[in-house]
């Protein structure tokens, strides 16, 4: 195994997760972070999606997030004084985690940082601002400005997790095309007691913010995230000085006491790097894509980038990767970013119409939604984050199915490319694994219904028979497994192949393709 580290530029949540995920593979990393120490990040990410909690579980922080986070299952949408509809998230799978928990990004970062502090394979260096990047066929070198001068650090690969103003992206001369929205969003974290439970409330055009919307989200410790859409040119200092801010807050919290924990003014953007991989450099998180937060797709997808990057880099270093594995990062994660931008773009067209015609359409939809259930389906206040499906990835065996549901929030069938569903299992030799997804993450996993297939490959692979580990048949049901069914699962839990009664060569070919081999 190569002793040189992987370089990670940026010690935000995505950089910290990349380091922790690499450490699971025994890969050392150096995180270079520009700031002199961890700062509170203010009113940023709060919603953590279920499948992302599974990734946090792999690095041992999900339980702490669950203990502190608020679980919410009800989302209410209002237009003026009318409640249009209520969504209650059902549990479409047998996951160990709820659909979403809410927890502030500062708390998430603190938990990740304390996991990093306990991980000897991660070297986190503050006050290292990366200013230059170069690479050849075997190493990547960065120069960083430190308080005592410039240092050079070399590694086998580099994960650029240095956020929206990424210096690495800039040094690689990659475009970051997209646009910003004229309207601003005033976001306050307010500690107070509200007369309703842990639920998300979205108000279109309330009389206290005419023509625009207000979003209210629960957080731990009686803190509520309140997000007002405000016009271009909005002056926060003037709003505070005139008492208008207090009035805004009072419209929601009433006469009771409140404390402002954090206050920020954001202009949201939709952007994507022209490439997410250049040689041995992989861009992840906000360095690669920036999207409006309605739907909570920013950090959730950044953690999925880190997961995708980590196993591919680990395979590359161990000599298990085929020639296409690193390149597949670009294919898979840029497809995921494009999908997230498409979905958030549709939401923003509804929230921030760009023309008179779009405004008129929005007003018409909202008016009709008061009385017409069909119009309610057109109301878009954000489509919540979900994992991408790698149906046409070069790592996936088989053609994409003809009628795969791609609409936001639709249940995805367990076909090749999709994240494998979860279910309880019981494995005699691995008593700590109580569910299917706990079997994944350290190599490929071959699952078969009743016959153990012969697995003949030089990459780490384990095989399980569902009829032996799935006593209640719940995993087989979730996987829609038939008697000759066999699934090949990647280290990140995505199904690489779904095969029918395969022989050893067919399973080997599917694993070979999934490790970036030239099948
Ligand atoms: C209002 C708001 C609400 C949001 N809500 C959600 C939500 O509910 N769910 C969700 O999933 N996402 C949400 N997001 C998005 C989420 O906050 C971001 O996607 C997330 O912060 C991205 O993490 P990152 O690690 O990629 O980048 P960052 O958090 O920006 O971290 C980048 C790090 O790189 C460092 N750095 C920068 N330049 C250099 C350099 N040259 N050298 C070394 N270090 C450098 C920075 O100091 C920083 O620490 C929200 C965002 C906003 C603004």
The answer, yes or no, to whether any atom of ligand 1 lies below 6 A from the CB of 12, is yes
User: Would you say 359 and 366 are in contact if contact means Cβ atoms under 8 Å apart?
Assistant: no
pLDDT digits (tens, 9 = 90+) for 406-441: 999 899 999 999 999 999 999 988 898 999 999 999
Ligand 1 atom nearest the C-alpha of 268 is: 53
Got the DSSP string for 186-201? EEEEEE---SS-SEEE
Q: How far apart are CA 283 and CA 288, in angstroms?
A: 5
Backbone φ and ψ of 377, nearest 5°: -65, -20
For the chain, what is the radius of gyration of the CA atoms?
A: 24
More confident residue, 145 or 399: 145
Measure the CA–CA gap between 497 and 386, rounded to whole angstroms: 21
User: Residue 519 pLDDT > 70, yes or no?
Assistant: no
- Give the pLDDT confidence score for residue 456 in this predicted structure: 79
Residue 51 pLDDT greater than 90, yes or no? yes
Nearest CA to ligand 1 atom 50: 45
pLDDT, tens only, 144-192: 999 999 999 999 999 999 999 999 999 999 999 999 988 899 999 999 9
Has residue 318 got a pLDDT over 80? yes
User: What b/e string do you get for 405-417 counting C-beta neighbours within 10 Å, with b at 16 or more?
Assistant: eeebeeebebbbb
Instruction: State whether the beta carbon of 47 lies less than 6 angstroms from ligand 1.
Output: yes
Residue 163: CB atoms within 10 A of its CB come to: 19
Provide the pLDDT for residue 354. Answer: 85
Query: Is pLDDT above 70 for 12?
Result: yes
Confidence label for 215 from pLDDT (cuts 50, 70 and 90): very high
Report the C-alpha gap between 222 and 190 in whole angstroms: 8
CA 10 to ligand 1 center in whole angstroms:
9
Q: How many CB atoms lie within 10 A of CB 147?
A: 8
Distance from the alpha carbon of residue 33 to the mean position of ligand 1, in angstroms: 13
**pLDDT at position 452, please?**
76
Beginning with the edge strand found earlier in the chain, give each strand of the sheet holding 100-102 in spatial order: 47-49, 100-102, 70-71
Tell me the CA distances in angstroms from 131 to 63, 158, 223, 282, 351, one per residue in order.
Answer: 37, 14, 38, 17, 38
Q: Compare 39 and 131 and report the one with higher pLDDT.
A: 131
Ligand 1, residues 36, 44, 303: which to mutate, most atoms within 8 A of Cβ?
44
User: What pLDDT shows up at residue 102?
Assistant: 96
Q: What is the pLDDT averaged over residues 443-472? A: 89
What is the edge-to-edge ordering of all strands in the sheet holding 184-191? Answer: 82-88, 74-79, 199-204, 213-219, 223-230, 184-191, 259-266
pLDDT of residue 95: 81
pLDDT category at 32 given cuts 50, 70, 90 is very high
Q: Could you tell me the two tokens for 253?
A: 């919290």
Segment 83-105 mean pLDDT: 85
**What distance in angstroms lies between residue 356's CA and the mean position of ligand 1's atoms?**
33
Q: Which of 150, 163, 167 to mutate to test the pocket of ligand 1 (most atoms within 8 A of CB)?
A: 163
> Which position has the token pair 């801010």?
245
**322, 512 contact by CB (below 8 A):** yes
List, in sequence order, every beta strand (DSSP E) within 267-358: 269-273, 277-278, 281-283, 289-290
Residues 6+ apart with CB under 8 A from 378: 365, 369
Residue whose pair of structure tokens reads 């007691």 in the numeric block:
193
> Ligand 1 atom closest to Cα of 14?
25
Write the pLDDT tens digit of every residue in 339-353: 999 999 999 999 988
Q: How many degrees, rounded to 5, is the angle at CA 180 between CA 366 and CA 329?
A: 105
Closest atom of ligand 1 relative to the 15 alpha carbon: 25
Q: Give the pLDDT of residue 208.
A: 84
pLDDT digits (tens, 9 = 90+) for 239-268: 999 999 999 999 999 999 999 999 999 999
In Å, how far are 102, 263, 360, 380 from 204, measured between CA atoms?
22, 21, 14, 10
pLDDT for res 518: 67
Ligand 1 centre to CA of 152 (Å) is 25
What DSSP assignment string belongs to 418-431? SBPP--B---TT-T
Residue minimizing CA distance to atom 51 of ligand 1: 44
Return the domain boundaries, the chain.
6-69+102-175+270-344, 389-519
Nearest CA to ligand 1 atom 11: 299
Q: Residue 163 C-alpha to ligand 1 middle, in angstroms?
A: 5
Model confidence pLDDT, tens digit, residues 324-333: 999 999 999 9
CATH for 6-69+102-175+270-344, options being 3.30.70.20, 3.40.640.10, 3.50.50.60, 3.60.140.10:
3.50.50.60
For the residues 133-138, what does the mean pLDDT come to?
A: 96
- Any atom of ligand 1 within 6 Å of the Cβ of 302: yes
129 lines ligand 1 (CB under 6 A): yes
Q: Note the pLDDT of residue 439.
A: 95
Element (H, E) at 222: none
Ligand 1: centre distance to CA 499 (Å): 40
Ligand 1 in contact with 11 (CB < 6 A)? yes
Say yes or no: CB of residue 421 within 6 Å of ligand 1: no
Helix axes 105-117, 13-24, angle to 10 degrees: 40
CA of 390 to the centre of ligand 1 (A): 25
Q: Write out the CATH class of domain 389-519.
A: alpha beta
Contact 272, 177 (CB under 8 A): yes
Pairwise CA distance, residues 361 & 451, whole Å = 56
Q: Which of 361, 300, 354 is nearest to 180 (CA)?
A: 354
* Lowest model confidence (mean pLDDT) among 273-282, 385-394, 455-464: 455-464
Mean residue pLDDT across the chain: 94
Q: By the 8 A CB rule, do 70 and 103 touch?
A: yes
- C-alpha to C-alpha distance for 420 and 479, rounded to whole angstroms: 8
Distance 48 CA to ligand 1 centre (A): 14
223-230 vs 281-283, strand pairing mode: unpaired
CA of 469 to the centre of ligand 1 (A): 40
Question: Whose CA is closest to atom 20 on ligand 1?
Answer: 299
Res. 40: pLDDT tops 90: no
Give long-range contacts, CB 8 A cutoff, 24+ apart: 221-224: 221/191, 222/191, 222/192, 222/193, 223/104, 223/189, 223/190, 223/191, 223/261, 224/189, 224/190, 224/191, 224/192, 224/194, 224/252, 224/253
Asked if residue 1 has pLDDT above 60, the reply is no
Closest Cα to residue 345, out of 297, 302, 406?
Answer: 297
Question: Measured in whole angstroms, how far is the alpha carbon of residue 36 from the centre of its chain?
Answer: 26
**Window from 62-66, 71-75, 147-151, 391-395 with minimum mean pLDDT:** 71-75
Residue 463 three-state SS: strand
49 close to ligand 1 (CB < 6 Angstrom): no
Between the ranges 308-312, 382-386, 422-426, 457-461, where is the mean pLDDT highest? Answer: 308-312
Any ligand 1 atom below 6 A from CB of 267? no
What pLDDT is attached to residue 91? 66
């Amino acid at each position: 195994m190569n002793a040189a580290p992987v370089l990670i530029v940026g010690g935000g949540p995505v950089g910290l997760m990349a380091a922790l995920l690499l450490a699971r593979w025994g890969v050392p990393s150096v995180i270079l972070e520009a700031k002199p120490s961890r700062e509170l990040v203010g009113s940023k990410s709060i919603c953590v999606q279920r499948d992302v909690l599974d990734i946090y579980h792999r690095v041992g922080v999900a339980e702490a997030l669950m203990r502190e986070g608020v679980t919410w299952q009800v989302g209410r949408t209002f237009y003026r004084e009318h409640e249009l509809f209520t969504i209650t998230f059902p549990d479409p799978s047998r996951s160990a985690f709820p659909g979403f928990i809410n927890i502030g990004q500062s708390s998430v970062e603190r938990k990740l940082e304390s996991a990093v502090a306990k991980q000897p394979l991660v070297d986190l260096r503050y006050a290292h601002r990366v200013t230059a990047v170069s690479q050849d066929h075997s190493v990547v070198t960065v120069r960083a400005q430190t308080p005592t001068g410039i240092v050079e650090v070399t590694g086998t690969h580099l994960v650029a997790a240095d956020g929206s103003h990424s210096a690495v992206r800039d040094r690689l001369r990659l475009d970051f095309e997209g646009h910003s929205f004229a309207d601003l969003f005033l976001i306050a974290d307010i500690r107070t007691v509200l007369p309703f439970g842990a639920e998300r409330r979205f108000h279109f055009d309330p009389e206290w913010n005419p023509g625009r919307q207000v979003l209210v989200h629960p957080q731990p410790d009686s803190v509520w995230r309140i997000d007002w859409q405000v016009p271009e040119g909005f002056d926060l200092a003037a709003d505070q000085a005139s008492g208008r801010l207090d009035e805004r807050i009072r419209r929601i919290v009433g006469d009771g006491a409140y404390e402002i924990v954090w206050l920020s003014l954001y202009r949201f953007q939709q952007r994507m790097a022209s490439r997410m991989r250049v040689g041995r450099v992989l861009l992840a998180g906000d360095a690669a894509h920036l999207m409006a937060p309605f739907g909570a797709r920013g950090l959730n997808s950044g953690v999925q980038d880190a997961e995708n990057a980590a196993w591919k880099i680990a395979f590359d270093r161990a000599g298990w990767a085929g020639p296409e594995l690193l390149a597949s990062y670009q294919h898979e994660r840029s497809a995921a970013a494009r999908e997230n931008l498409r979905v958030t773009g549709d939401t923003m067209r509804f929230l921030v119409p760009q023309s008179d015609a779009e405004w008129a359409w929005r007003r018409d939809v909202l008016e009709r939604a008061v009385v017409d259930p069909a119009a309610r389906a057109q109301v878009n206040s954000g489509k919540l984050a979900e994992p991408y499906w790698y149906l046409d990835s070069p790592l996936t065996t088989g053609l994409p199915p003809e009628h795969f549901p791609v609409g936001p929030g639709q249940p995805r069938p367990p076909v090749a490319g999709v994240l494998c569903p979860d279910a309880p299992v019981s494995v005699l030799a691995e008593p700590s694994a109580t569910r299917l997804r706990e079997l994944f993450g350290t190599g490929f996993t071959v699952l078969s219904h009743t016959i153990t297939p012969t697995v003949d490959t030089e990459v780490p692979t384990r095989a399980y028979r569902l009829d032996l580990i799935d006593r209640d048949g719940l995993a087989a049901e979730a996987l829609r497994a038939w008697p000759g069914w066999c699934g090949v699962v990647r280290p990140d839990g995505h199904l690489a192949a779904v095969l029918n009664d395969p022989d050893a060569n067919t399973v080997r070919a599917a694993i070979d393709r999934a490790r970036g081999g030239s099948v």
